[in-house]
Amino acid sequence: MSQLITLGVLSSLFFSSTFILNRAMSLAGGHWAWTSSLRFGYMLVFLILLLLITQGKKALTQVKEVFIQHWLFWILAGGIGFGIFYSFITFSATYATGWIIATTWQTTILATPIVLIFFGRKVPAKGIFLTLLIFMGIILVNIEHAITTDLPTVLLGALPVLVAAFAYPIGNQMVWEARLGENKKLPHIQNPILENGLARVLLLTLGSIPFWIILLLGTQPPPPSSGQLLSTALVALLSGVIATTLFLYARHLCKQPYEIAAVDATQSMEVVFSLIGEIVLLNGTIPGALGIAGILLTIIGLIAYIVMQSR
């Protein structure tokens, strides 16, 4: 369990770059549709190169075969787990600071048990109780946000993140279920390439491409600036490649549903990393009493969750 938690926390450190840089691009006037779609465009290139360097042409051939054989599955899993998830996250950056989005994003900890139950998996009741504690912390943070701004802005900053919080574990769980082959509604994908974390991320990225094309055609945003091109490339490397691969690798090591929930719970550390980064890099302000209380509840809930699940 300690290895799973370590990998999860490390991935949350790299994931936090998303919230900081997305907020920076939003403040600079970058359109959210480019912020989200460019990241996955860069990821596609990075992942192909990394897989080619580390595994050779054979791995890319296997990825191609698996994608073609189950193209509809990957488009659904990638569109939900990467497309809906990230486009909603970047949209929210227009209306809320990075650390507030990072805190609200922890709703995914509450969403994960619900998603697991939806897929027919059993989840310990004590885990659900502690996720509710974490959710209370998220509510306090958004109450503080509501005090300093208007309600529509709060809703536009929070509600899309809540949708994203469910979309991400749904997409990941679809891949987990497909590997096991126990869900009759999903294909059983037995190709050994799925044991490779980079390959799984690449397959989901390939599957998300139709979503990004439709998004750009639908929003028709103005051309991205050079700064946005550079920032999205950095997000793609730190969060899209490094963090996502670490996170999915930790999930891949899980043998039981409660281990999956514990790994997902480590993402609460994104709140701390995002807050520190925003204060240092974007001259952000220290949260007020409600915000601090919300962060503490989130972290306490995480620690209690890990301790109880480790017994």
What are 103-147's pLDDT values in tens digits?
A: 888 787 778 778 888 888 876 666 666 767 777 888 888 788 777
Residue 239 has, within 13 A of its CA and on its CB side, a CA count of 24
| pLDDT given for residue 161 in this prediction | 94
| pLDDT given for residue 68 in this prediction | 95
- The DSSP code for 223 is P
CA dihedral (220, 242, 113, 3) in degrees, to 10, reads 180
* C-beta pairs of 187-196 under 8 Å, 24+ apart in sequence: 187/70, 187/73, 189/66, 189/69, 189/70, 189/73, 191/62, 191/65, 191/66, 192/62, 193/59, 193/62, 193/63, 193/66, 194/66, 195/252, 196/51, 196/55, 196/59
- Can you spell out the DSSP letters for 156-209? HHHHHHHHHHHHHHHHHHHHHHHHHT--TTS-----GGGGSHHHHHHHHHHHHH
Q: How far, in Å, CA of 263 to CA of 306, rounded?
A: 9
CB of 80 closer than 8 Å to CB of 171: yes
**Exposure string (b/e) for 248-280, b if CB count within 10 Å is 16 or more?**
bbbbbebeebbbbbbbbbbbbbbbbbbbebbee
pLDDT tens digits for the chain (311 residues)? 778 888 888 988 898 888 889 989 988 889 999 999 999 999 999 999 989 998 999 999 999 999 999 999 999 999 999 999 999 999 999 998 888 888 888 787 778 778 888 888 876 666 666 767 777 888 888 788 777 777 888 889 989 999 999 999 999 999 999 988 888 889 999 888 888 888 998 999 999 999 999 999 999 999 999 999 999 999 988 987 888 778 878 877 887 776 777 787 777 778 888 888 888 877 777 788 888 888 888 778 766 765 665 55
Q: How far, in Å, CA of 253 to CA of 4, rounded?
A: 7
| pLDDT given for residue 126 in this prediction | 63
| pLDDT given for residue 88 in this prediction | 96
| pLDDT given for residue 202 in this prediction | 93
| pLDDT given for residue 98 in this prediction | 84
Structural tokens at position 235:
């997000």
Give me the count of residues in the chain.
Answer: 311
Query: What is the phi/psi pair of residue 29, to 5°?
Result: 95, 10
Q: State the alpha helices, DSSP H only, in the chain.
A: 2-27, 32-55, 57-69, 71-78, 85-92, 98-105, 107-118, 125-148, 151-180, 197-219, 226-235, 244-253, 257-265, 269-282, 289-310
| pLDDT given for residue 188 in this prediction | 92
Q: Three-state DSSP class for 28?
A: coil
CB of 295 closer than 8 Å to CB of 271: yes
Structural tokens at position 143:
């109450």
Going by C-alpha positions, the residue among 76, 81, 154, 90 that lies closest to residue 111 is 81
| pLDDT given for residue 5 in this prediction | 82
CB of 160 closer than 8 Å to CB of 93: no
